Amino acid sequence: MKRILVTGAAGQIGSDLVPALRAKYGNENVVAAAHATPLPAHVRGSGPHATVDVGEPAALRRALREHRVDTLYHLGSILSVLAEKQRHLSWRVNFEGLHNVLEASVEHDLKCVVVPSSIAAFGPETPADDTPNDTIQRPTTSYGISKVFGELMGNYYHRALGLDVRGVRLPGIVSWATEPTAGTTDYAVAIFYGAILNERYACYLEPDTRLPMMYMPDAIGALMQVAEAEGSALRHRADFNVGAMSFTPAELADSLRKRIPAFRMEYEVDPVRQAIADSWPNSLDDSAAREEWGWKPRYDMEAMVDDMLVHLKRKLRPD
């Protein structure tokens, strides 16, 4: 049986990944590690937890030792928008934190380390449509540079030190459990809160900004599936494109209007977030992930919108 530790367990993805891992491997075998943000009640109350600042190697090593961890999902990260504002924090968490995780994983002889990357690992010189898995990567954000660093370091630790590091380049993630607040793709979640609570939303991206997106159950599936994949079948390691859907704010608003006819979308464009979004791909070629470990998403935009509305209405208006 695996003993798993998840860093960033209080974040948008971590707070959904921990319950999924606990359902599969047993509550007591999955440690939820968080630092600055408190763990949500459903994560804190359902299994072991630890306070781990990934910038502090001693705390990380202690948690790995005390909980006898053999598998690590490293989700602790400062997302794109916050990383532009807080460069020191981004350095400490996204660069030093990753280095600490990899070193501690070698020391503790972990069997597998999953380090998610992002579409932010690409930049304005990358082909934007059907972005190939292996292509030019010259990101123009601190977060994007840290993601390329993570991919290269993951591949290096595997090749040079035999540490089994794996990762997928996640698109913008849409989910209803925990609202993201520090990323460029967050509009695709906030729009649902606006539509349900006020029948309107002011979008900070231009109406025709196309970005790759994914519904949370597929993101969780991708992270767990890549971790379980047969190692000998992998030609890539920490740098798999995974696609699911691509849409623009205007297309998502149209889809919501089909279900909430009174919904109104306005645009108050934020130049910082727009510039970041413009540097990222429109869509991804994920054939490497499909061929090497059988990646196949379940949700397209319409299925995602239906499911989001069911869950978020129940969460925001329980009666």
11-45: string of b/e by CB count within 10 Å (b at 16+)?
Answer: bbbbbbbbbbbbeebeeebbbbbbbeeebbeebbe
Instruction: Single out the residue of 137, 113, 143 nearest to residue 125, CA to CA.
Output: 137
3-state secondary structure labels for all residues of 26-55: CHHHEEEEECCCCCCHHHHCCCCEEECCCC
Tell me which residues in 143-162 interact with ligand AKB (CB under 6 A): 143
209 is an interface residue for ligand AKB by CB under 6 A: no
Which residue among 167, 183, 243, 297 contacts ligand AKB (CB under 6 A)?
A: 183
What is the smallest separation between the CB atom of 176 and ligand AKB, expressed in angstroms? 15
- State the DSSP code for 233: G
Question: Is the Cβ–Cβ distance between 46 and 22 less than 8 Å?
Answer: yes
What is the smallest separation between the CB atom of 118 and ligand AKB, expressed in angstroms? 3
Show the tokens assigned to 303.
Answer: 């299925």
Which residue among 126, 142, 178, 185 contacts ligand AKB (CB under 6 A)?
A: 185
SS3 state of residue 193: helix
120 is an interface residue for ligand AKB by CB under 6 A: yes
Which amino acid, one-letter code, is at 198?
N
What is the smallest separation between the CB atom of 166 and ligand AKB, expressed in angstroms? 17
184 is an interface residue for ligand AKB by CB under 6 A: yes
Q: Which stretch binds ligand AKB (CB under 6 A): 115-123, 202-210, 225-233, 253-261?
A: 115-123
Question: 143 catalytic, yes or no?
Answer: yes
79 is an interface residue for ligand AKB by CB under 6 A: yes
Residues that bind ligand AKB (CB under 6 A): 79-80, 118-120, 143, 170, 172-173, 183-185
Catalytic center residues: 143
